[in-house]
Amino acid sequence: MNDFFIEYSDVHKSFGEKRVLAGVSLGITRGETVVVLGGSGTGKSVLLRHTIGLHRPDSGEVRVDGEEITGFDEEQLIDTRKKVGMLFQAGALFDSMTVEENVGYALREHTDWDNERVCERVREVLQLVELENVEDLMPADLSGGMRKRVALARAVALAPRAILYDEPTTGLDPVTANTISQLIRSLQRRLGVTSIVVTHDIRSAFTVADRIAFLHEGQIVFDGSVEAARASDQPLLRSFLQGGGYGQTPVQ
């Protein structure tokens, strides 16, 4: 019996003629942080989106907390999405809402908490991402790094048991990217959450990962510890690591 909180078993997914996932099998143990590395357009975001039912596989299974979710209806998926928070690639804050409204949004949607309790929780999760006194600001007032932090606060507001990070450091300068990587690490330690971090940022990958999986042409072609990844003679992974992530801006 394994102790996976999230498990993909032989997941296939095509869009029309385009085959994106061609039999992905990967398990993420409770409390573990797995980084899924891969070039641009290899299906990293598509894989993550399967975890919360935003895509359904053509075949194969996705299990979250022991439950096979591929047949779940929207109502059942709401529970899955409470358990699994996602930090979307674009950050995706609501531009017309304050930071407080953005972070409190899911709490107001999914709990019957009164305003005071929501505000308190918002303050608490903002502190968790090292932000203070930003509640009344608008997203346009924030730097890129702050926007990521707010999006992260929003993803953890409902106290999820797992967090999915889609390219959390993309578009940030190297110093800010590093602070976000450190923050991901510290959230994992402090909250004990299971995490999947999808990235082509190799430096970030080695900072946050307990384990690295490398996605290439729709399959996981390497899956092992950080040390094993560094030492790997898997040619695709080696050239990816040496090239700073092919098809991407080199790591700075």
Question: At closest approach, how far in Å is the CB of 141 from ligand ADP?
Answer: 29
Q: Are 183 and 152 in contact (CB under 8 A)?
A: yes
Closer to Mg ion by CB, 100 or 181: give it. Answer: 181
Residue 102 binds which of ligand ADP, Mg ion, none (CB < 5-8 A, kind-dependent):
none
Question: At closest approach, how far in Å is the CB of 41 from Mg ion?
Answer: 8
Helix (H, G, I), strand (E, B) or coil at 167: coil
Question: At closest approach, how far in Å is the CB of 40 from ligand ADP?
Answer: 5
Residue 51 binds which of ligand ADP, Mg ion, none (CB < 5-8 A, kind-dependent):
none
Helix (H, G, I), strand (E, B) or coil at 87: strand
Q: DSSP alpha helices (H): ranges in the chain?
A: 44-51, 74-83, 99-110, 115-128, 144-156, 174-191, 202-208, 226-231, 235-242
CA distance 172 to 81: 27
Closer to Mg ion by CB, 33 or 42: give it. Answer: 42
CA distance 108 to 54: 22
CA distances from 59 to 17, 42, 76 (A): 15, 18, 20
Residues 12-51 that bind ligand ADP (CB under 6 A): 15, 18, 20, 38, 40-46
Q: Are 23 and 215 in contact (CB under 8 A)?
A: no
Closer to ligand ADP by CB, 126 or 198: give it. Answer: 198
Beta bridge partners of 84: 162
Closer to ligand ADP by CB, 148 or 200: give it. Answer: 200
Closest by CA to 172, choosing from 148, 196, 202, is 148
Question: At closest approach, how far in Å is the CB of 91 from ligand ADP?
Answer: 15
Residues 12-51 that bind Mg ion (CB under 5 A): 45
Question: At closest approach, how far in Å is the CB of 42 from ligand ADP?
Answer: 4
Question: At closest approach, how far in Å is the CB of 174 from ligand ADP?
Answer: 21
Closer to ligand ADP by CB, 44 or 123: give it. Answer: 44
Residue 46 binds which of ligand ADP, Mg ion, none (CB < 5-8 A, kind-dependent):
ligand ADP
Closer to ligand ADP by CB, 48 or 162: give it. Answer: 48
Question: At closest approach, how far in Å is the CB of 46 from ligand ADP?
Answer: 4
Closest by CA to 237, choosing from 220, 252, 249, is 220
Q: How many residues bind ligand ADP (CB under 6 A)?
A: 11
Report phi then psi at 220, rounded to 5. -80, 110
Closer to ligand ADP by CB, 16 or 66: give it. Answer: 16
DSSP 18-58: EEEEEEEEEEEETT-EEEEE--TTSSHHHHHHHHTTSS--S
Write out the residues near ligand ADP by the rule CB under 6 A. 15, 18, 20, 38, 40-46
Contact footprint for Mg ion (CB under 5 A): 45
